[in-house]
Structure formats: C-alpha cells, structure tokens
Amino acid sequence: MRSFVLVAALFLSAIASTARAGSVGTYSGCKSLRGERAACEKCVGGGNFYQPGQGCGMVEGMRKSKPMPAVKPPPRPTAMPKTGDDYVTIKPQPFAIGARNLDTDKDDSKEVFGTTVTLTHPFKMKATEVTYGEWYFVTGQLPYPYDKECGMNCPVGGVTWRQTLDYLNLLSKREKLEPCYTFKDGLAQWPKGFECSGYRLPTDAEWEYAARGGLEEPRYGELDEIAWHYDNSNGKPHPVGKKKKNAYGLFDMLGNAWEWVWDAEDFKPYPEDVTDPIVGGLTLESDGQNRVMRGASYKDGIIYQRATHRFQYLANSGSENHGLRPVRTVK
C-alpha cells in the first residue's frame, strides 16, 4: 500500500511539472474563466488541458494513453440457476434477540441483549445468497465487480440496498407474484408489509432468527466449517453453498457476503419485548440513510462473524462484498 501511494505521488508530481502555467485540467478550474468556461469544460471533459486564450490541447511533454480494451461479459444465463429455486420454510417462535453474556465478543454499542422478539409470520428464505448468475438472469445486468475466477455461483456483490429492492420486484414479476416495493419522491415503500406475497428483504429480526438455526449461540458451528472469513478465504469470495448449513438448511449465513435487510440503522431497536418489529417502518428513504446489513463477509475477521452482529451502510451505496438473500411470507 505504501509503495502504491509513493508511485501515485510521483505520477501526479510528473503531471504537474509538465503542465504549462495557466493550463486547466479539472472542471473546478474552469469556473474562473469568463467567457471560456463552456469551452474549458468540454476540453477537460475529453481528457485534455485547456489553456486560457489558446484553446484546447495536450500540455507539452504529455501524450494520450490508449483506451483499455473492452472486456466481453460472459453470456447471460438462459434459465434461472438451480440455486435460485432453493428455498426453505421457517416457522418462527419467540426468541431472545441479540448477544448473551456468554458471548465474549459482543459489541455493547451495537447489539441487543436478550430482548424477546415474537415473529408471527412463517416465511421462505433462500438457502443461499443470491449469485451473480441469478442476478444476471433476472436483471440482464452483471454488477461490478464480477469475479471471473469464482464464476456465476459466487454471491453477487457491489449491489446497493435500493438495487436489491428492484431485483426482488423483478423476481416477483417473473414468478407472477405481487411486487412488494413501490417508489416515490426518493422513498421506498413496502405498502402491504408481511401480507405481500412477493419476494422481499428479511427484516432484521427475521434474519437473526434464521441465522441462529434454533440455537442461542452466536454461531451455528465451528467458524471454519460454516463460513468464508478473513482467515480462510484468501481475500476472495467463494461459490455459495460449499460450507456446512445450519439446522434450518441455510448456507453462508455467516461470511462470504454481507446481506442487506429492510430495516433502518438503529443499533438498539428493541428496548422491550416486541412482536414483528420493523425498524424505521414501512417507508424508508431510498438513499441518504443507512440500512442494516448482517452476516459479515469473506473480508471480515472472526469478531464480526456472529448472528448478533450488525453493520450499516448507505442505502444508495454498495461495496464488492454486499449482497442479499430473499424471503417471502407464506401462509
């Protein structure tokens, strides 16, 4: 990392030393040019330097680099991959959400300690995280970054909370189910809540109940047996479903990819016993606010690989290890 910073600094220094005095190389520098601003912005937008009073061109000693060759994407799947149809039914009961005193890794600022949550709606949850193949088939788009080495069975990454809602609506329409989400004026709405029959994100409480697999412990087995994490992943994602599943039949509930849930960020959302909690309600901003993520990823250390740990991220931003796991309410 230090060597990269040094090389970058030397490169920028070389650019600066070759630029003529008064040349403009950024949009911000064009603002002060009366009568020449439009020409300046067009010039720098094309990758050149603008020289006030002289026009557009490369600075002496500089040359344009050749464009990177286009990367041909892999063919789009012609059918939903097998993992896309693999769901398990979960019939919830009251449970104590959050860390226990026996969990020595618990984070007191981010985890709820033993509040009783009652979930009243059975739901189907996807046995694996959504893969690149599934996302590509449903949306026609291949999100960046696609790991060619890992392939289409890797958990999809780089998707935002807002994009996951679009994906789930498309998935519902594909199976002739009602879409659960609507959008208006920068707000994402889940109008029918648990009564919607289509695909949706799990709530924070549903996710933790499912991840526990009926246990009180923060993990449903030995970590290396159930999760791809910092110490065993070699810094890369891995195809879904290769580790040991929990008692409910769910793979990779810890590790591999972070999983978005519906709820707004609130690290102490349950001050008392509660039924079917939805933190933030049924209408949330589709950008500019934080949403909860669960399960940690292949890039995260042991302390984060627990069913009780919460993380948060902006709803309209996504990182390479951010994915999802759909659910839908069943009667």
Q: What is the mean pLDDT of the chain?
A: 88
The confidence band for 61, taking pLDDT boundaries of 50, 70 and 90, is low
pLDDT score recorded for residue 59 = 63
Q: What is the DSSP letter of 64?
A: P
Q: Taking a C-beta distance cutoff of 8 angstroms, is the pair 294, 258 a contact?
A: yes
E strands, the chain, where?
A: 49-51, 55-57, 87-90, 95-98, 113-118, 123-126, 182-184, 187-189, 258-264, 274-275, 283-285, 290-294, 310-314, 322-323, 327-329
CA 155 to CA 177: how far, in whole Å? 24
The residue written with tokens 């079917």 in the block is 276
* Bridge partners, residue 131, by sequence: 155
Instruction: Compute the radius of gyration of the chain from its Cα atoms.
Output: 24
Q: Taking 80 as the threshold, does the pLDDT of residue 18 lie above it?
A: no
Degrees, nearest 5: CA angle 122-124-125: 125
Q: Taking 80 as the threshold, does the pLDDT of residue 62 lie above it?
A: no
Percent of the chain beyond pLDDT 70?
89
pLDDT score recorded for residue 63 = 64
Q: What is the pLDDT of residues 231-242, one digit of tens each?
A: 999 999 999 999
Q: How far is CA 300 from CA 72, 100, 227, in A?
A: 31, 22, 11
pLDDT score recorded for residue 276 = 96
Q: Taking 50 as the threshold, does the pLDDT of residue 273 lie above it?
A: yes
- List CB contacts of 83: < 8 A, sequence separation 6 or more: 127, 128, 131, 133, 134, 153, 240, 241
Q: What is the pLDDT of residues 93-128, one digit of tens each?
A: 999 999 887 787 888 777 888 889 999 999 999 999
pLDDT score recorded for residue 8 = 41
DSSP string, 159-199: --HHHHHHHHHHHHHHTT-----EEETTEEE-TTGGG--S-
Q: Taking 80 as the threshold, does the pLDDT of residue 201 lie above it?
A: yes
In the chain, what are the domains? Answer: 2-57 (no CATH), 82-329 (3.90.1580.10)
Mean pLDDT to the nearest integer, 260-281: 89
pTM of the full structure? 0.80
The confidence band for 295, taking pLDDT boundaries of 50, 70 and 90, is very high
pLDDT score recorded for residue 53 = 82
DSSP string, 251-305: --SSSSSEEEEEEEP-SS--SS-EES--TT-SEEESSSSEEEEES--TTS-GGG-
Mean pLDDT to the nearest integer, 82-91: 96
Q: Taking a C-beta distance cutoff of 8 angstroms, is the pair 251, 192 a contact?
A: no
CA 254 to CA 35: how far, in whole Å? 58
Q: Residue 260: left (phi > 0), alpha (psi -120 to 50), or beta?
A: beta
Q: Taking a C-beta distance cutoff of 8 angstroms, is the pair 49, 58 a contact?
A: yes
Q: What is the pLDDT of residues 139-190, one digit of tens each?
A: 999 998 888 889 999 999 999 999 999 999 999 999 999 999 999 999 999 9
pLDDT score recorded for residue 10 = 40
Mean pLDDT to the nearest integer, 302-315: 94
The confidence band for 72, taking pLDDT boundaries of 50, 70 and 90, is confident
Read off the tokens for 184.
């208006």
